Every structure is written in C-alpha cells, then in structure tokens.
C-alpha cells in the first residue's frame, strides 16, 4: 500500500470537507454549496463516502479525491498537502535521503538567519535614532505603526559592516551572509553589508517563510531606487509575488486578484482593506506568477500605468497568460458544416488603468473609494488593448490598421464566450473602419498559421508497440483501476500520449488531461508526463524519472509494477491504452449521470421541480456516452485505424 493510500484509509473525506463546507446528509452521500465558486441557490457540491471522492456539478464541474480537495482549497502543492495530511493521519513518510535531509536542514538554517535579520532591521527602525528618517518616510506615505508591525518593515543602518558584525556575533559565517544575500563580497577579500540606509521590506513565500528582502532608498541621491536580494537558493523573484502570503485567503474569498508593481502598491492598499493585492518585484509577469494566482482565482486584474510602457507590460503579461493558464476545448461548426476544435483561455483578465503618474498607494491614500471604482471599472483586456493601441494613431493608414488588428485579433480569439468574441470583432471593425468580414478572414489566417506552428513544433510520434497487452483488472473501485492502468502505460512510454490525443480528436473527443483522473497521484503523474513531452532537453522517460519526487516515487513504482506484463513491442498497446481510457471516461460519465439523477430526484422529493440544470447536464452526459461508445467500437474493431 502506498503512503497516499494509507492516508486515505485513515482519514475520512467527509471529515476533511466538513471543516470548510457545511454538508447535509442526503441518502448515502453528502451535499453542500461548492466552496470554489459563488452559489447560494443549488447545493451542487457532493461528497461520496463510498468512493472517498467529491464533485461539483455546478460551475466548477471538477472533482477528485481527498488530496485534490485540500490542494484546491489551500492552493498548496501536492507535497505540502501530503505532509500536512500525513501528520494528521499519523503516517510516517518515506525518510529523506541523507543529501535531501542535509539540504532541508541547511535551508531551514538560512531561513532562521533571515528571520533574525527581520528582527535586526526592525530594531534599527524603531529602537535607534538612525531609523527616524525611515519612520518619517513611512508616515509621509500614510503607513501606520500597525501596518509597519504587520509587514515587519525595518531599516538598514547607514554602515558598511553593522549587519555583518552583528550576525557574526550570532554565530553566522561570512559564507552564510553571502548565501542569503545579506552581504556582498569585496574584490579585495572579505564582505560588506548589501543593504545600507534603506527601508527594509521582508519578502516571504506563500507559505509565509522568509525568502529575502526588498530595500528602498531613503536618500534621493542613492541608486538604485529599489534593491532586492540577489538570486539565492531561497529567493527567485521570477517565482515570488510579494504579498501572496497575506493575500491568499482574500483572493479566494473575493474570487479576484489584483497584480500591481512595487511593494507599497501592496502595503498601503492592504491598510485600507484591499487585501487581495500582490506585486511583481521589478520583473515582468512570468508563467510562475500566473500559475500561482490562478490556483486562487480566475479573475485577474492587472493594475498598470496608463502610458505606452504600461500597454507593453500588459501585452507581455497576456503572452505569458496564453502559454500558462488553463484552456477549455470547444467544438465549433463553421459555415460549411465542418466541426473544428478551438481552445479558449479559462481566465477573466482585466486591466485597471491608474491615473497618470500615480501608483495604487497614491490613489488609495487620497481616496480609497477611487481605487475601488478603478478596480470595479477594470476593462476586459481586449477593449483595453484595442482602445489604447488605437489612441493617437493614424487609423486611415492601412499599415496601422493591420498592426492594430495583428495584436487585437489573437486576444479576441482567446475569449471563451462566442457572443463576446463576435461583439469584440464588431467593435474592432468599427474602430478600424473596416468590413467585419475582413477581420473574419484575417482571424482564419492567423488561427491557421498559429495551428501549423504548433503542429510543426511537435516531435513525430513513435512507431506503435508490437505484441499482446496485459488484461485490465477490475476490482471494486473500477475507476481507480482504469486510471492506474492508463498512467502505468504512459509512465513506460510517455510518447503514446501524443497518439492518444490524436485518436481522441479523430473521434470528436477531448484530449486526455489531468482532469480525467480523480486520484491526485495520477493527476500529478499525468501532468509530469505531459511536461516531459513539452520540453526538448531530455528524452521524455528520463525527464519523468528525474523529476519524480520522493513522495510520488512509490506510487510510480506501484503503477509500473502493475503494467510489468506489457510487451513493449506489441502493436496492441495503444489499443489497450485507448480502450482503458475510454472505459475510464465512460465510467466517469455514467457515474456523473447517476449522481445527477440522484440530485434531481432528491430536489423533486423536496418539492423543487425547477432543476433544469440537472436535466440539461444529464442530456449532455447521454450524448457524451454515445460518442464514447462509438469510439470504443471503432478502436476495438479497427486496430489498423490506430496507426
């Protein structure tokens, strides 16, 4: 039994979910309002004790096991959830290797040093005469003593060696100070304090662990204006968002995150009740940044400057978003009746334009309601880019029209709602004074060009296996068995995922994703397999093996053992994998329909006969079952079609 299975055996998902969701017993299951989206009318969130799983039949349309629920609720990585639940269940995790244990202890020691640095700088701010200038600066910016305390702000004395000498008396070496970025090395030997005569701002990761510092000048003649900790084993500004440790819960509660530039753009609004704000730290938005906030909210507001640099920053952020954020595939029917598949960005990205020359802290200090109005009036990113790019340009120039269309049309294509897409196209056509059909043609060309680039970037799929597949075993928890079989095969041959996607597409079905799996271990492994195929530095199987963490390694070993009977030379392995995956989808859709019928009957028994959403979902599931059954027959009877 794997560690995760042992934890599931000791913990009841009903107990865990009940800590944050008010559940009511309904037959053999439990229902409540989904904690991941706003809903006060229909309790479409269901916990199934028999299978120890959960599912939201409402807006989310997501589900999973105990681990996936806690991961989504807290926004934590799998390893963090595993540690928390293992401790709660009294399960001993696999011990770290000597090297891993040494690294863990070293990181903890360095974090302890940074925590002591917070204390040191705090004392310099409030307990010495040298900190008076910093205190005056904070008061002038409208920052209260309570907020200073809340964010742990401090002051680095105007000295080349005060901090270094202090920490040496605490037992830390020069190498320690260099490693965490508190000191810099002299060319002639020795060290000197990196931060001098600056306001010190502690930077923590989302788990509230110290990572480094941001430092602002107090003397206008000093440069640079802001100085961050250098890149260290603990500090990487391309991965960190300032304030996320404090904003995490507010972001989830409001279902919205505001991204600004600069530390004070977080601190001052927080003091006035805007607690869902985070900031980049002198770097453009990265995929790591967006991936972190997307765990908590789908609505992302970029609070940018109104100048041209702000527009460029917005476009850079959108390019990253297109590569990072989740997409939803849709079936589209064109004018000739052909069905095509298109992916739409699953995020509501908006832009709030600040008054010229002002930062969020300037606005909120003058009038908090003004900042609220600015955020409430944040424009959809398509409109913002469309209007800002066109402003001041000669739109009579055909080349200018083409340039604007080239940047706006791809944004329109990413919008999830077809009605919104058409409305944006009409608005752009009016703005550029061109026929809408011209943009439709332009859109088709751009989409085809983008698709061909994606196809050409993919490596060619391998030749099919040869031989006879092992039989799929079906224990009581049938879905778990299908999942395990699929993941076990793909661990052995990751490239098969490309061929599975292609065959599913031919059958008019969505490609395989982590969402097809309920087990959190399996979700993580599928994500790792797909990641292996998206990189070009290593052979996919080597990449998977190298990136298997200790916590998930035992599960991977177990899955590989289950598929050890597969002959890697068989031409039936792809058929076996497809059949197992389609059976998994069929099982899940049938289960979903069973649960929906249960909810429908339960509502009707309680006198509610208006549950049209359940009936619509049941019809959609029946249509999906029909497509899956056709695909199963196709792949079972026509092995040749798989090549």
Long-range contacts of 390-398 (CB under 8 A, 24+ apart): 390/431, 390/432, 395/431, 395/432, 395/433
Both tokens of 283, joined, read 């770097």
- 373 CB-side CA count, 13 A: 6
Was domain 114-228 assigned CATH 3.90.580.10?
no
491 within 8 A of 45, measured Cβ to Cβ: no
Cis status, amide bond into 169, omega within 30 of 0: no
* Confidence band of 99 (pLDDT split at 50, 70, 90): confident
Residue predicted with more confidence, 342 or 122: 122
Whole-number pLDDT of residue 643: 40
If you average pLDDT over residues 376-397, what whole number do you get?
83
In the chain, what's the furthest Cα-to-Cα distance? 85
Least confident window among 40-49, 102-111, 438-447? 438-447
Question: What percentage of the chain has pLDDT greater than the value 90?
Answer: 26
Distance between CA atoms of 181 and 213, rounded to whole angstroms? 9
* Coil vs helix vs strand at 477: coil
Look at residue 455 in the predicted model and tell me its pLDDT: 34
Q: What's the confidence (pLDDT) of residue 305?
A: 59
Q: What is the mean pLDDT of residues 195-220?
A: 93
Q: Assign 406 to helix, strand or coil.
A: helix
Q: Strand pairing partners for 156?
A: 198
Is 1.20.5 the CATH number for 478-642? no
Q: 459 pLDDT band (50/70/90 cuts)?
A: very low
**Mean pLDDT over residues 174-185, rounded?**
96
Higher pLDDT, 630 or 168: 168
List of residues 6+ apart from 249 with CB closer than 8 A:
none
Residue 118 predicted with pLDDT over 60? yes
**For residue 423, pLDDT beyond 50:** yes
Q: Which of 237-241, 269-273, 521-525, 564-568 has the highest mean pLDDT?
A: 269-273
User: Residue 562: CA atoms inside 13 Å, Cβ hemisphere, count?
Assistant: 23
Residue 58 near residue 34, CB atoms below 8 Å: yes
Query: pLDDT tens across 299-337, in order?
Result: 889 886 555 455 555 556 556 555 555 555 444 434 333
Q: Does 461 score more than 80 pLDDT?
A: no
Residue 336 pLDDT: 38
Question: Among 141-155, 367-381, 515-529, where is mean pLDDT lowest?
Answer: 515-529
Q: Of 277, 330, 366, nearest to 508 (Cα)?
A: 330
CA-to-CA distance for 621 and 589, rounded, in angstroms?
6
Residues in the chain: 643
pLDDT tier, 621 (very low <50, low <70, confident <90, very high otherwise): confident
Task: Taking residues 261-278, report their average pLDDT.
Answer: 95
Range with the poorest average pLDDT among 106-110, 202-206, 439-443? 439-443
Q: Which of 173-182, 262-271, 471-480, 525-534 has the lowest mean pLDDT?
A: 471-480
- Residues 64-72 have a mean pLDDT of 89
Quick check: do 3-89 and 114-228 share a fold? no
Statement: residue 388 has pLDDT above 60: yes
Q: Which two tokens stand for residue 568?
A: 């890697």
Domain spans in the chain, listed from the N-terminal domain onward:
3-89, 114-228, 237-377, 380-457, 478-642
Does the pLDDT at position 622 exceed 70? yes
Q: Which CATH architecture has domain 3-89?
A: Alpha-Beta Complex (3.90)
Token pair 């049209």 is at which residue?
A: 612
Q: What is the mean pLDDT of residues 262-283?
A: 92
pLDDT at 551: 65
Looking at per-residue pLDDT, the higher value among 354 and 308 belongs to 354
Q: pLDDT class for 619, splitting at 50, 70, 90?
A: confident
Residue 498 pLDDT class (50, 70, 90 cuts): confident
**CB under 8 Å to 350, separation ≥6 — which residues?**
299, 300, 301, 302, 378, 379, 380, 381, 384
Instruction: Categorize the per-residue pLDDT at 450 as very low, low, confident or very high, splitting at 50, 70 and 90.
Output: very low
What Å distances lie between residue 34 and 610, 612, 615, CA to CA?
A: 19, 18, 19
Topology annotation, domain 237-377: Dna Topoisomerase Vi A Subunit; Chain: A, domain 2 (3.40.1360)
- Residue 344 is inside which H or E element, if any? strand 339-345
Give start and end residues of each alpha helix (H) in 214-276. Answer: 244-254, 264-271
Examine the pLDDT at 363 and tell me if it is beyond 90. Answer: yes
pLDDT more than 70, % of the chain: 80
Q: Can you give the pLDDT at residue 291?
A: 73
Higher pLDDT, 91 or 109: 109
**C-alpha triplet 285, 288, 290: angle, nearest 5°:** 60
280-303: average pLDDT: 79
Residue 225 tokens read as 């204006």
pLDDT recorded at residue 268: 97
Residue 187 DSSP one-character state:
T
Lowest mean pLDDT among 239-243, 307-311, 332-336, 519-523: 332-336
| Structure-token pair, residue 41 | 């009318």
pLDDT category at 296 given cuts 50, 70, 90 is confident
pLDDT at 603: 62
Which helix (H) or strand (E) segment is 106 a member of?
helix 98-126
Average pLDDT over residues 278-299: 78
Q: How far apart are CA 322 and CA 347, in angstroms?
A: 10
pTM value surpassing 0.95: no
Please write the tens of the pLDDT for every residue from 572-610: 788 888 888 888 888 878 877 777 776 676 666 655 545
The residue that leads in pLDDT, 610 or 186, is 186
Span 1-21, pLDDT tens digits:
567 877 887 888 888 998 888
Query: In this predicted structure, what is the pLDDT of residue 178?
Result: 96
Q: What is the mean pLDDT of the chain?
A: 80
pLDDT of residue 311: 55
pLDDT at 568 over 70: no
Q: Under 8 Å CB-to-CB from 552, ≥6 apart: which residues?
A: 78, 521, 524, 525
What is residue 468's predicted lDDT score, i.e. its pLDDT?
33
The pLDDT value recorded for residue 123 is 97
pLDDT given at position 457: 35
Average pLDDT estimate for 520-540: 85
Which has more pLDDT, 345 or 259?
259
């Amino acid at each position: 039994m794997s560690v995760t299975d042992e934890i599931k055996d000791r913990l009841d998902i009903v107990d865990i979910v009940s800590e944050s969701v008010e559940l009511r017993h309904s037959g053999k299951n439990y229902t409540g309002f989904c904690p991941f989206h706003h809903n006060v009318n229909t309790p479409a969130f269901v916990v199934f004790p028999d299978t120890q799983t959960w599912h939201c039949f409402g807006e989310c349309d997501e589900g999973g096991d105990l681990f996936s629920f806690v991961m989504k609720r807290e926004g934590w990585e799998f390893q963090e959830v595993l540690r928390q639940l293992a401790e709660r269940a009294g399960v001993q995790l696999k011990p770290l290797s000597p090297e891993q244990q040494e690294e863990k202890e070293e990181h903890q020691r360095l974090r302890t040093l940074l925590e002591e640095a917070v204390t040191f700088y705090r004392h310099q701010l409030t307990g010495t005469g040298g900190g008076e200038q910093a205190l005056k600066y904070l008061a002038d910016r409208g920052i209260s003593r309570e907020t200073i305390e809340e964010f742990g702000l401090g002051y680095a004395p105007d000295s080349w060696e005060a901090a270094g000498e202090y920490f040496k008396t605490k037992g830390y070496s020069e190498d320690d100070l260099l490693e965490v970025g508190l000191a810099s090395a002299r060319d002639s030997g020795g060290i000197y304090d990196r931060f001098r005569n600056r306001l010190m701002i502690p930077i923590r990761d989302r788990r509230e662990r110290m990572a480094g510092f941001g430092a602002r000048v107090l003397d206008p003649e000093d440069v640079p204006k802001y100085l961050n900790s250098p890149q260290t084993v603990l500090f990487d500004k391309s991965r960190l968002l300032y304030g996320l440790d404090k904003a995490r819960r507010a972001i989830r509660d409001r279902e919205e995150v505001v991204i600004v530039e600069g530390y004070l753009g977080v601190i001052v609004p927080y003091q006035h009740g805007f607690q869902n704000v985070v900031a980049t730290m002198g770097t453009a938005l990265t995929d790591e940044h967006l991936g972190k906030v997307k765990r908590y909210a789908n609505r992302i507001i970029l609070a940018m400057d109104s100048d041209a640099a702000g527009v460029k920053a917005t476009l850079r952020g959108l390019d990253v978003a297109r590569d990072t954020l989740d997409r939803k595939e849709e079936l589209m029917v064109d004018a000739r009746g052909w069905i095509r598949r298109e992916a739409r960005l699953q995020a509501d990205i908006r832009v709030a334009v600040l008054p010229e020359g002002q930062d969020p802290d300037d606005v909120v200090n003058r009038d908090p309601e003004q900042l609220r109005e600015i955020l409430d009036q944040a424009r959809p990113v398509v409109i913002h880019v469309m209007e800002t790019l066109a402003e001041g340009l000669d739109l009579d120039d055909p080349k200018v029209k083409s340039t604007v269309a080239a940047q706006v049309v791809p944004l329109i294509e990413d919008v999830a709602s077809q009605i919104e897409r058409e409305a944006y196209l009409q608005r752009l056509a009016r703005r550029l004074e061109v026929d809408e059909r011209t943009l439709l043609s332009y859109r088709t060309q751009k989409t085809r060009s983008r698709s061909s680039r994606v196809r050409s970037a993919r490596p060619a799929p391998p030749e099919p296996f040869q031989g006879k597949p092992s039989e799929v075993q079906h224990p009581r928890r049938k879905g778990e068995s299908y999942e395990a079989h699929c993941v076990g095969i793909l661990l052995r041959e990751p490239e098969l995922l490309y061929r599975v996607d292609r065959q599913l597409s031919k059958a008019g079905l969505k490609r395989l994703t982590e969402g097809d799996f309920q087990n959190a271990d399996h979700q993580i492994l599928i994500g790792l397999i797909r990641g292996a195929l998206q990189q070009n530095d290593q052979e996919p199987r080597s990449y998977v093996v190298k990136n298997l963490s200790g916590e998930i390694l035992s599960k991977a070993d177990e899955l590989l053992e289950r598929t050890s009977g597969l002959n890697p030379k068989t031409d039936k392995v792809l058929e076996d994998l497809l059949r197992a995956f389609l059976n998994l989808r069929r099982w899940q859709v049938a289960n979903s329909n069973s649960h929906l019928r249960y909810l429908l009957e339960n509502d009707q028994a309680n006198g509610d006969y208006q549950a049209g959403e359940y009936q619509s979902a049941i019809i959609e599931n029946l249509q999906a079952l029909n497509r899956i059954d056709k695909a199963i027959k196709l792949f079972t009877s026509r092995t040749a079609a798989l090549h």
